[in-house]
């Protein structure tokens, strides 16, 4: 999907290895221990496609200011995680 669309990819610590770190579309990890480019991309995005992510506070910071203009498509095995970020 990333290669077909050219969409940048951000992976959390637990997802490291799911998408190659060396890939040109990989911006690194988000959040308090992440890269500036990953955090900036999330904050400026208009669409987040989140697969298996937990949206914990180390990634989002304050939920009311996390990716304020983004629509979110969220898929996770745990139904309790869906909608947690909004």
Distance of CA 47 to the CA centre of its chain: 10
Residue 48 sits at the vertex; the CA angle it makes with 44 and 54, to the nearest 5 degrees, is: 115
Q: Is residue 81 part of a domain?
A: no
- Domain assignment of residue 9, given as a range: 2-76
Element (H, E) at 75: strand 71-75
Write out pLDDT tens, residues 9-41. Answer: 999 988 888 999 999 999 999 998 899 999 999
Looking at every residue in the chain, the average pLDDT score rounds to 91
Write out pLDDT tens, residues 36-67. Answer: 999 999 999 999 999 998 888 888 888 888 99
Instruction: Report the domain count for the chain.
Output: 1
Q: Is residue 71 part of a domain?
A: yes
Element (H, E) at 57: helix 57-60
Assign residue 63 the CATH number of its domain. Answer: 3.40.50.1220
**pTM attached to this predicted model:** 0.83
Tokens of 55: 């949206």
């Amino acid at each position: 999907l990333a290669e077909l669309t050219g969409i940048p990819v951000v992976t959390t610590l637990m997802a490291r290895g799911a998408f190659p770190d060396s890939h040109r579309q990989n911006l690194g990890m988000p959040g308090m221990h992440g890269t500036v480019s990953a955090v900036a991309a999330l904050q400026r995005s208009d669409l987040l496609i989140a697969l298996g992510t937990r949206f914990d506070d180390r990634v989002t910071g304050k939920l009311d200011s996390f990716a304020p203009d983004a629509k979110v498509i969220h898929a996770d095995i745990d139904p309790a995680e869906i909608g947690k970020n909004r």
